[in-house]
Amino acid sequence: MTNAVLDISGVSKRFGDNLANDNISLSLGRGEIVALLGENGAGKTTLMSILFGHYVPDSGKVLIDGQELPPGKPRSAIRAGIGMVHQHFSLAANLTVLENVMAGTESLWRLRSDTDAARQKLEDISTRFGLIVDPDARLGDLSVGEQQRVEILKALYNDARILVLDEPTAVLTNLEAERLFRTLKDMAREGLSLIFISHKLDEVMAAADRIIVLRGGRKVAERPAKETNKAELAELMIGRKVARPVREPSTPGEVALKVTGVSVSIDGVERLKSIDLSLRAGEILGIIGVSGNGQATLAHLLSGTVRRDKGDIVLFGEPVGDLSVEGAVQAGIGRIPEDRNNEGAIGEMAIWENAVLERLPRFSRHGLVDRSAGQAFARKIIDAFDVRGGRPATRTRLLSGGNMQKLILGRNLIDRPRILLAAQPARGLDEGAVAAVHERLLQARRDGTAVLLVSEDLEEVMALADRIQAIVNGRLSPAVAADKVNATKLGLMMAGEWNEEHEISHAL
């Protein structure tokens, strides 16, 4: 291509035994949006790190407007007009938006920062691309979506003409993601070239002009978005056909958990407003809703980490008052927390330690931790749940997201819990791992576990749940049978449109 702004040709990079990039070439035109699709470990991020000068390739080169970019020099990459928006933001929470954007853009030996000019430039860019954010706000006070806007602004401020976004939607709610893609399209119309890295089929189909599929460090396909479909892409990405499992009909058992009229306030704000739900053995109850509507509080309530203000919780036919964490564990409630890195596992501790932490009494002898029993238990989970990339003694943070989630699932499911709380269990995972997690949830359902699935993914809930309730602003809709609703009805429910009759009758 002659009008390519970016040409990557024949790039290879090896880490030890692992060939992370194997002779990859791609080009990017002006005003074009290219998606780099692949599972975790396919080499997407390595390739982009080479482009950005974080890594030096073993062979191959990067051309910007036909000029070769010196390898391993982030400074030159920035100067050549490449901007990178990392998945984990590179921002300083204590500094203001303007300071975050300005840092490093002026000569260090200037006697005074030209903040007025910088503010003007930032505001110009903000309005031109519709990325509105207060320059004087402390970054840590902004929402995740706004922080991402700052990341993009930072790149644009450095006069980026090629913008690389690494899994930009991993941390966003659906609404924020939609908004982001609208912005990206506007930016492309303004003449910017964009590459975004993703493993989500929906969004590459929706946002990209051209899709490049990586697998195992190699480019396996390149397709214009118009000439492909999700099924083909999924197969290319994974290398075999992978279908997400769907629930089969079954008859649920007795009610395991019944919550009536429960309200919860946190710091004076009512997060749950008189909610009702009942969960039966051998069924999956889906709680659907846009993140931030009380899901976290609901999960915390049932894991025993927050107290209720009023209402009743009945567990296996017995009123329990408030649950405690210990009580929840003893009652056989397994928990898969939404935030697996902070609440689900302790990254600096070994896999086996994370596996036994909540059932320490079982793995203690004479007041000492029984290491060999703990390690054996961890090995059992690793084998049964196909946790890859670690032995029992490996530090947990070295696992990929999908494997960490399998560890957490395994830790909970290996003892056949009677109830399983799964909060956003497949969020941020690649297609293969999503299917694995879904299969485990269905297996738990077959085994008679009562599963509460909290999710904001319509497709996921419709495929797995027997019954569905929507959560909006701390209120729960009445349950509807999954085979009696469609996406439109669920969408309306998520927006708070449901039959109020039930509520009135409840109030009476």
> Smallest distance from the beta carbon of 183 to another protein, in angstroms?
21
Query: Which of 21, 27, 45, 100 contacts another protein by CB under 8 A?
Result: 100
Helix and strand totals (H; E) in the chain: 17, 23
Give CA–CA dist 36/47, Å, rounded: 10
Position 8 contacts another protein (CB under 8 A): no
Stretch that binds another protein, among 80-88, 213-221, 400-408, 481-489 (CB under 8 A): 80-88
Q: Show contacts with another protein in window 141-200 (CB under 8 A).
A: 154
What angle separates helix 115-129 from helix 144-157, to the nearest 10 degrees?
110
> Smallest distance from the beta carbon of 261 to another protein, in angstroms?
38
Tokens of 115: 């903040």
Position 91 contacts another protein (CB under 8 A): yes
Q: By the 8 A CB rule, do 32 and 224 touch?
A: no
Stretch that binds another protein, among 70-78, 249-257, 325-333, 476-484 (CB under 8 A): 70-78
Give CA–CA dist 265/28, Å, rounded: 51
> Smallest distance from the beta carbon of 128 to another protein, in angstroms?
21
Q: Show contacts with another protein in window 32-61 (CB under 8 A).
A: 54-55
3-state secondary structure of 460: helix
Position 104 contacts another protein (CB under 8 A): yes
Stretch that binds another protein, among 109-117, 237-245, 307-315, 435-443 (CB under 8 A): 109-117
> Smallest distance from the beta carbon of 153 to another protein, in angstroms?
13
Stretch that binds another protein, among 90-98, 222-230, 280-288, 450-458 (CB under 8 A): 90-98
Stretch that binds another protein, among 87-95, 124-132, 188-196, 201-209 (CB under 8 A): 87-95
Position 209 contacts another protein (CB under 8 A): no
Give CA–CA dist 272/265, Å, rounded: 7
Q: 319-343: buried (b, 16+ CB within 10 Å) or exposed (e) per residue? A: ebeebeeeebbebbbbbbbbebeeb
Q: 226-237: buried (b, 16+ CB within 10 Å) or exposed (e) per residue? A: eebeeeebbebb
> Smallest distance from the beta carbon of 347 to another protein, in angstroms?
11
Q: Show contacts with another protein in window 386-405 (CB under 8 A).
A: none
Position 136 contacts another protein (CB under 8 A): no
Position 13 contacts another protein (CB under 8 A): no
Give CA–CA dist 127/386, Å, rounded: 49
Q: Which residues contact 242 (CB under 8 A, 6 or more apart)?
A: 234, 235, 431, 432, 435
Position 95 contacts another protein (CB under 8 A): yes
3-state secondary structure of 197: strand
Q: By the 8 A CB rule, do 465 and 286 touch?
A: yes
> Smallest distance from the beta carbon of 339 to another protein, in angstroms?
17
Residues near another protein (CB under 8 A) are 54-55, 74-75, 78, 84, 86, 88-95, 99-100, 102-113, 154
